[in-house]
């Protein structure tokens, strides 16, 4: 836990003596202490003040470093957080036993259900949940220091959502680490299938690959996300709609619009590269397996070390290529019947 | 800048969570989206976390669905018992509406038909009738010729078990009262014999017609007195109409028939009274005077509510069975077979200008004491000629009664 800057208390709150320094306005601390449910599960007021101070100092109330936050800004910062969840997480992170009891009472069952839902298997889910409990409890250490993932929670989203997302991350990372242990039968089969189809000319494939890159870059982020989620991840319209909080009919319309836009961009890019209109349309009918995207995708999935996501948008064209290729082929199949 | 978004790293779990929960600022959201467009690892993490969220929400969602269903059911159960007060309330409203119309009809008829002196007579009649009940020797035939003063009296005196029948009877009576004023042969009003509540006119007329009480001389005397009184009242009300335009059939008898005395046509009177009342054709009465003086306000209001295809006002209405005929102010006749919802014009088969339509029960007087089910329509023109029809479509001229 970060050390809180100790400052003299200017106006100690009435009632319990506050251990919080004056970096956080005492009236705000009183207000949050009244509104927070931490007292119900036995948190001391001094611990509460200290937790708020640590959170505020770590993010400087959401302001740029060096800027002094006024009371209004402090209040706005704390009101933007899930304060109850944040206090509970911080109390658990520092090893408060009563906080842990409350945490397990509230989040124990939901966390197990989430692990089962994520893994798709009860045994795997319980194993995943148990491992995560151990991790949360701080059994892992680094450099001799106990580490608790809850310490990284900053209260921007709900604690239960954070727990589910963290579980999903653990599951995906575990899958990526263990994916190379899978049998190679499927890969051999896929390779055999791809070899059974005559390959088009390499020049056309290179041109098509570049055109797909360009078409992808021209698309807005949301359209790219829709195309990737629908064509590459095989997610349903309803699943995408739940993530983006829109109706699946809206997702469908946006997908059709994005597919049409990608197709137009592809044709235009292919024509710019010297292809005729008819040749460009024929190039869109190439089997995406000829673009050798599958193997690149497998390599990506087997990578356990995530690439920097700001660079990944440029250096990870494989998934995007497959996405666009699938979208184009799907659209081509629709047009050709 | 978020430290986890430094170059070279995937966005951490908290950023992905905030992205999934739509808590990121727009700029940061777009950056994460751009990263995930090309990073299938982060996409996979995001979709897995979202899948866990969705599956974890299945249980509470199902529980909440059951709870909401129970809530809806409980709410419906609460409303289920509302049909009892709702039915009672609807019943009260229905009774109130029926009572309102009946009360309004009776009040308007009393107001229109009775002058202040008539009201006094009515009270006197009640007292007299109570003090001197009609003798048992007075036959029902004598009382048949006595008309009720008001429908309220009819309710008091007549035994009308069926409300609808009573209402229909009131309407028929109001129309028939109009017919009396015109001077045509008016059918007798149906009245239960031997019951109090009749006007003094009626009582006197009944006694006059019965031989033991007064005999024909008394009947004639009373009738002339009654007609004279009524004529005075009518003349004061219909001063704007020119009485000279009305054809006078026989000038020996003053115009206007009494409201309370039904002048029986000679052919229909079955009473054994030796003295017959004056024939109808001797009573000079005009259609104009009828139109203002004899029509009850309820009948007028009902006639005004009828909208005929010509758009003109309704002059006269008659009903029989399921048929209704109406005469507009231009003299055109219309027939309706659906209680006035649709009207069809009737070809003119009469001469002159039609001024009145009415129903006349067929059969004997005894039959009319019971609810007259069959009746025929009559149409009277400005020459006081009468055309009759059984269906309202085909009209034939009825010969004048033999004098």
Q: Domains of chain B, with CATH numbers?
A: 1-54 (no CATH), 116-294 (no CATH), 306-398 (2.40.10)
Considering the domain boundaries, does residue A131 fall inside one? yes
| Beta carbon pairs, A and B, within 8 Å | 146
Structure tokens at A71: 């009371």
Of A118, A149, A179, the last residue of a domain is A179
The pairing of strands B386-389 and B344-346 is unpaired
Contact B17 A152 (CB under 8 A): no
Considering the domain boundaries, does residue A282 fall inside one? yes
In A, which residues are within 8 Å of B55 by CB distance?
113, 117
How far is Cα A38 from Cα A15, in angstroms, rounded to an integer? 17
Which chain A residue's Cα is nearest to B44?
A172
Is there a single domain that holds both residue A70 and residue A106? no
Contact B369, B140 (CB under 8 A): yes
Contact B23 A232 (CB under 8 A): no
Contact B369, B271 (CB under 8 A): no
CA quadruple A320, A323, A327, A330: dihedral positive or negative? positive
Is there a single domain that holds both residue A306 and residue A255? yes
Which chain A residue's Cα is nearest to B21?
A157
Let me know how long chain A is: 337
In B, which residues are within 8 Å of A157 by CB distance?
14, 17-18, 20-21, 23
Instruction: Determine what percent of chain B is predicted with pLDDT higher than 70.
Output: 38
How far is Cα A227 from Cα A243, in angstroms, rounded to an integer? 14
Of A119, A149, A179, the last residue of a domain is A179
The pairing of strands B354-361 and B344-346 is unpaired
Considering the domain boundaries, does residue A86 fall inside one? no
In the DSSP assignment, the letter for residue B312 is P
Which chain B residue's Cα is nearest to A175?
B41
In A, which residues are within 8 Å of B8 by CB distance?
308-311
Contact A161 B17 (CB under 8 A): yes
CB < 8 Å from A in window 27-56 of B = 30, 33-56
Averaged confidence pLDDT in chain B? 61
Is there a single domain that holds both residue A173 and residue A226? no
CA distance A245 to chain B (A): 8
pLDDT for B166 equals 47
Is there a single domain that holds both residue A151 and residue A267? no
* Cβ of residue B161 closer than 8 Å to a chain A Cβ: no
- Residue B335 DSSP SS3: strand
Contact A262, A321 (CB under 8 A): no
| DSSP string for B265-285 | PTTT--S--SSPPPPGGGS--
Considering the domain boundaries, does residue A9 fall inside one? no
H or E element: which one contains A327? helix A317-336
How far is Cα B20 from Cα B49, in angstroms, rounded to an integer? 9
Contact B355, B287 (CB under 8 A): yes
Q: Which residues contact B252 (CB under 8 A, 6 or more apart)?
A: B282
Contact B303, B327 (CB under 8 A): no
Considering the domain boundaries, does residue A4 fall inside one? no
Is there a single domain that holds both residue A170 and residue A300? no
CA quadruple A231, A234, A238, A241: dihedral positive or negative? negative
CA distance B28 to chain A (A): 12
C-alpha dist (Å) from residue A89 to A40, A293, B22: 15, 43, 21
Considering the domain boundaries, does residue A189 fall inside one? no
Which chain B residue's Cα is nearest to A318?
B38
Mutate to test the interface with B, among A148, A166, A168 (most CBs of B within 10 A): A168
Contact B14 A165 (CB under 8 A): yes
Q: Which residues contact B169 (CB under 8 A, 6 or more apart)?
A: B154, B160, B190, B371
- Looking at this predicted complex, what is its ipTM? 0.71
How far is Cα A242 from Cα B50, in angstroms, rounded to an integer? 7
CA distance B70 to chain A (A): 26
Contact A157 B51 (CB under 8 A): no
Is there a single domain that holds both residue A169 and residue A220? no
Q: Across residues A124-133, what is the average pLDDT? A: 89
Contact A313 B34 (CB under 8 A): yes
How far is Cα B203 from Cα B265, in angstroms, rounded to an integer? 19
Considering the domain boundaries, does residue A88 fall inside one? no
- pLDDT tens-place string over residues B154-167: 444 444 444 454 45
pLDDT for A46 equals 86
- pLDDT tens-place string over residues A246-266: 998 999 999 999 888 888 888
Is there a single domain that holds both residue A48 and residue A112? no
C-alpha dist (Å) from residue B129 to B125, B148, B201, B215, B260: 6, 13, 11, 20, 15
Is there a single domain that holds both residue A331 and residue A218? yes
Contact A168 B44 (CB under 8 A): yes
pLDDT for B66 equals 47
Residue A199: pLDDT band (50, 70, 90) is: low
Contact A112, A125 (CB under 8 A): yes
Which chain A residue's Cα is nearest to B31?
A221
- pLDDT tens-place string over residues A170-191: 898 888 877 766 665 555 455 5
Among partner residues A110, A154, A243, which is closest to B46 by beta-carbon distance? A243
* Cβ of residue B12 closer than 8 Å to a chain A Cβ: yes
Is there a single domain that holds both residue A127 and residue A247? no
In A, which residues are within 8 Å of B29 by CB distance?
none
Q: Across residues B124-153, what is the average pLDDT? A: 43
Is there a single domain that holds both residue A233 and residue A332? yes
Of A179, A209, A239, the last residue of a domain is A179
Contact B389, B377 (CB under 8 A): yes
Considering the domain boundaries, does residue A11 fall inside one? no
How far is Cα A274 from Cα A204, in angstroms, rounded to an integer? 11
Is there a single domain that holds both residue A285 and residue A326? yes
How far is Cα A267 from Cα B401, in angstroms, rounded to an integer? 108
| DSSP string for B352-381 | S-EEEEEEEE-S-HHHHHS----EEEEEEE
| Main-chain dihedrals φ then ψ at residue B243, nearest 5 degrees | -75, -15
Torsion of CA B225, B226, B230, B232, to 10 degrees: 10
Give me the number of domains chain A comprises.
Answer: 3
Note the pTM of the prediction, 2 decimals: 0.44
Is there a single domain that holds both residue A173 and residue A293? no
- pLDDT tens-place string over residues A137-175: 876 666 777 788 888 888 888 999 999 999 999 898 888
Q: Across residues B225-239, what is the average pLDDT? A: 50
How far is Cα A54 from Cα A3, in angstroms, rounded to an integer? 7
**Domain range enclosing A303:** 198-336
| DSSP string for B42-75 | HHHHHHHHHHHHHHHTHHHHHHHHHHHHHHHHHH
Which chain A residue's Cα is nearest to B42?
A169
CA distance A10 to chain B (A): 31
Mutate to test the interface with B, among A79, A111, A309 (most CBs of B within 10 A): A309
pLDDT for A202 equals 74
């Amino acid at each position: 836990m970060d050390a809180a800057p100790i400052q003299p208390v200017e106006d100690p709150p009435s009632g319990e003596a506050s251990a919080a320094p004056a970096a956080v306005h005492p009236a705000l601390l009183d207000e949050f202490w009244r509104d927070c449910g931490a007292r119900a599960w036995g948190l001391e007021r001094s611990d509460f003040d200290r937790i708020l101070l640590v959170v505020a100092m770590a993010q400087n109330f959401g302001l740029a470093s060096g800027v002094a936050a006024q009371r209004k800004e402090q209040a706005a910062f704390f009101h933007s957080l899930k304060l109850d969840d944040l206090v509970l997480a911080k109390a658990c992170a520092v090893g408060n036993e009563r906080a842990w009891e409350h945490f397990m009472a509230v989040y124990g069952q939901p966390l197990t259900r989430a692990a089962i839902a994520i893994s798709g298997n009860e045994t795997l889910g319980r194993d995943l949940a148990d491992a995560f409990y151990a991790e949360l409890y701080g059994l892992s250490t680094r450099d001799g220091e106990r580490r608790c993932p809850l310490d990284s929670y900053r209260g921007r989203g709900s604690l239960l959502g954070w727990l589910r997302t963290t579980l999903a991350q653990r599951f995906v990372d575990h899958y990526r680490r263990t994916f190379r242990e899978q049998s190679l039968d499927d890969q051999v089969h896929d390779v055999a299938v791809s070899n059974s189809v005559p390959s088009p000319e390499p020049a056309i494939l290179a041109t098509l690959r570049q055109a797909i890159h360009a078409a992808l870059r021209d698309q807005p982020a949301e359209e790219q996300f829709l195309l990737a989620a629908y064509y590459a991840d095989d997610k349903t319209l309803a699943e995408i709609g739940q993530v983006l909080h829109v109706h699946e009919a809206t997702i469908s319309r946006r997908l059709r619009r994005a597919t049409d836009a990608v197709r137009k961009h592809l044709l235009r890019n292919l024509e710019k590269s010297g292809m005729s209109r008819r040749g460009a349309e024929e190039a869109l009918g190439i089997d995406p397996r000829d673009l050798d995207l599958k193997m690149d995708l497998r390599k990506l999935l087997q990578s356990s070390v995530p690439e920097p996501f700001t660079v990944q948008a440029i250096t990870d064209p494989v998934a995007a290529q497959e996405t666009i290729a699938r979208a184009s082929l799907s659209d081509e199949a629709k047009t050709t019947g | 800048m978020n430290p986890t978004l430094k170059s070279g790293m995937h966005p951490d779990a908290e950023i992905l969570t905030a992205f999934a929960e739509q808590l990121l600022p727009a700029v940061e959201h777009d950056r994460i989206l751009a990263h995930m467009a090309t990073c299938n690892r982060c996409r996979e993490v995001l979709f897995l976390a979202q899948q866990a969220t969705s599956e974890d929400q299945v249980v509470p969602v199902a529980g909440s669905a059951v709870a909401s269903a129970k809530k809806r059911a409980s709410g419906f159960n609460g409303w289920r018992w509302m049909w009892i007060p709702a039915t009672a309330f609807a019943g009260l409203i229905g009774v109130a509406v029926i009572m309102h119309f009946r009360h309004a009809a009776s009040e308007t008829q009393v107001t229109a038909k009775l002058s202040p002196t008539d009201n006094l007579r009515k009270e006197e009649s009640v007292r007299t009738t109570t003090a001197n009940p009609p003798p048992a020797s007075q036959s029902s035939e004598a009382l048949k010729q006595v008309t009720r003063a008001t429908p309220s009296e009819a309710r008091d005196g007549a035994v009308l078990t069926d409300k609808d029948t009573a209402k229909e009877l009131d309407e028929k009576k109001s129309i028939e009262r109009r017919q009396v004023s015109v001077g045509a042969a008016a059918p007798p009003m149906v009245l239960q014999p031997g019951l109090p509540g009749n006007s003094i006119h009626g009582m006197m007329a009944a006694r006059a017609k019965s031989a033991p009480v007064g005999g024909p001389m008394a009947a004639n005397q009373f009738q002339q007195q009654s007609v004279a009184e009524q004529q005075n009242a009518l003349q004061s009300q219909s001063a704007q109409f020119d009485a000279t335009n009305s054809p006078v059939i026989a000038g020996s008898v003053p115009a206007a028939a009494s409201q309370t005395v039904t002048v029986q046509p000679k052919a229909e009177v079955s009473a054994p009274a030796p003295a017959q009342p004056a024939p109808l054709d001797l009573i000079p009465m005009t259609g104009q005077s009828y139109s203002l003086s004899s029509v009850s306000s309820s009948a007028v209001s009902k006639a005004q509510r009828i909208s005929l295809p010509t758009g003109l006002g309704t002059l006269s209405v008659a009903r029989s069975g399921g048929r209704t005929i109406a005469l507009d102010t231009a003299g055109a006749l219309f027939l309706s077979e659906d209680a006035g919802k649709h009207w069809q014009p009737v070809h003119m088969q009469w001469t002159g200008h039609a001024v009145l339509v009415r129903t006349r029960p067929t059969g004997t007087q005894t039959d009319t004491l019971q609810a007259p089910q069959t009746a025929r329509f009559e149409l009277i023109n400005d020459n006081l000629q009468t055309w009759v029809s059984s269906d309202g479509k085909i009209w034939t001229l009825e010969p004048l009664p033999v004098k």
